[in-house]
Amino acid sequence: MIANMTEDQLLVLVIKYIREAKRHSLQELLDELHPYDVAIIYRSLPVKHHHKFLTFLNPDQIADLIEELETEYQVEILQKLGVEESSKVMDLMENDELADLLNELSVERIQEFLDVMKKEDSIKIRSLMSYPAETAGGLMTNEFIWIHANQTVRQAVDKLKEYASFSENIYYLYVINEAKKLVGVVSYRDLLIADLNEVIEDIMFTRTVAVKVTDDQEQVANIIERYDFIAVPVVDDEDTLLGIITVDDALDVVIREANEDIEKLSASGNIDFSTKAWTASIRRLPWLILLLLIGLVSGSIMNYFEATLAQVVALVFFMPMIAGMTGNTGTQSLAVVVRGISQNTIDKKVVTNLILREFRVSLIIGVTCGSLITLIAFLWIGDPSLGMVVGVSLFCTLIIGTLAGTIIPLILHRFGVDPAVASGPLITTLNDIFSLLIYFGIATAFLTNLT
């Protein structure tokens, strides 16, 4: 019956159960749902029902629910539950999710929760919280199942049953030696088709790919993507197995990184369809005001070249086109660099090749567009020297614009500057200034010779 109900029908049923205090029916219903669906119900549920809803759930269900919710809901639930009840729930949460949640709370709050948790769990959590968020360590869970190489398939299956609560989301068993070093990996399917008396060593895969705990999260996601892994083990410098990172976390990283890249390109800040107008404005305004001020620099450049402008008014007609084209080519290069930085390892050779490639590109497009505009300008205004000025200027500004769009983000990346600084609008605005300087500079130099 439940299998075919819509979200709205489910919500109505849940409210009915809450009103009629049918705790057991509610639990049964929720057991049939994915945590993602339970989270949708929780968000849609009128706030007045939240507390009662939670009291009807067992700690296991609350743990699953919390893992699917946004921070504000998570904190709300912890507050409604109180420290003692919360700690029970926390014991059941995946350790990486829990560490992320705790990182959102104040130091005193964290201490309060850790104090009432099981000793062994709180030690694990503390160790997870000690890794930087954007590294393999910050992403991994230490809920995985390991086994010794000399144990049998039967022992492995027994261990799986013992750790049934978290063997659910894991698809490999990690094999370690006496020194706790990772020596191999066995999939559940290998165990299923093996004989129960076989020794793990004989069926395991030995060329394991692992990531270092200090590796950047993008690197980790790239490895999972390349090898089509479901999970990748995380080790320290001595190859000791510390945890695993699962493909769903890699998927989240990829989405987050792509969104960040797009924010970089547009300086739009972290805004989605559900962001309130006021919040969205506050996030965009600092950039816009900065760009406004930088934009005025363009104005003062023109002020400086007023004499040249007065001499040949037609110069001004080509100004928006030249500034715009420099911005466009810069944006194109920037997009290639920003995306590439996320997906490639950046070393000296890569950087050199990239800059040379973009330089060649700028020559090709510079010659093409420069010749085209020389012709157009000549036909339009009828003055060959103006045509030359516009053409040569466009050639030069396209080269400068392309290189600015390539080199500025690379330099920022090199110095670890928050990449949002290398935004598309910033590059465009800088290129505006470069292009005006070049255009009026060349025009002034030519015109004094020619007119």
Q: Which of residues 328-347 bind a copy of itself (CB under 8 A)?
A: 328-329, 331-336, 338-340, 343-344
Collect all residues with Cβ–Cβ distance below 8 Å to 323 and sequence separation of at least 6.
298, 431, 432, 435, 436
Footprint (CB under 8 A) of a copy of itself, residues 127-186: 157, 160-161, 164, 167-171
Site for a copy of itself in 350-369 (CB under 8 A): 350, 353-354, 357-358, 360-361, 364-365, 368-369
User: If binding is defined by CB under 8 A, does position 252 make contact with a copy of itself?
Assistant: yes
Helix orientation angle between 7-19 and 47-56, rounded to the nearest 10 degrees: 70
Which residue lies nearer to a copy of itself by CB, 118 or 359? 359
Q: Which of 123, 193, 375, 445 binds a copy of itself (CB under 8 A)?
A: 193
Q: Which stretch binds a copy of itself (CB under 8 A): 48-56, 95-103, 122-130, 372-380?
A: 372-380
Fill in the per-residue mask, 23 to 42: x = in contact with a copy of itself (CB under 8 A), - = not in contact: ---------xxx-xx-----
Which CA distances in Å does 227 have to 77, 208, 220, 230, 270? 38, 11, 11, 9, 31
The mark string for 78-117 relative to a copy of itself (x by CB under 8 A, - otherwise) is ----------------------------------------
- Phi, psi angle pair for 213, to nearest 5°: -60, -25
Of the ranges 46-54, 111-119, 128-136, 260-268, which one interacts with a copy of itself (CB under 8 A)? 260-268
Q: x-or-dash pattern for a copy of itself, window 425-444, by CB under 8 A? A: x--xx--x---x--------
Tell which residue, 241, 239, 147, has the closest CA to residue 199: 147
Give, as ranges, the residues between 268 and 327 that touch a copy of itself (CB under 8 A). Answer: 268-269, 271-273, 275-278, 280-281, 284-285, 287-289, 291-292, 295-296, 298-300, 302-303, 306, 309-310, 313, 316-321, 323-325, 327
Q: What is the DSSP string of 93-139?
A: S-HHHHHHHHHTS-HHHHHHHHHHS-HHHHHHHHHHHTS-TTBHHHH
Strands (E), 122-266: 146-148, 172-176, 182-187, 211-212, 231-235, 241-246
Q: How far is residue 189's CA from residue 29's CA, in Å, rounded to a whole number?
A: 31
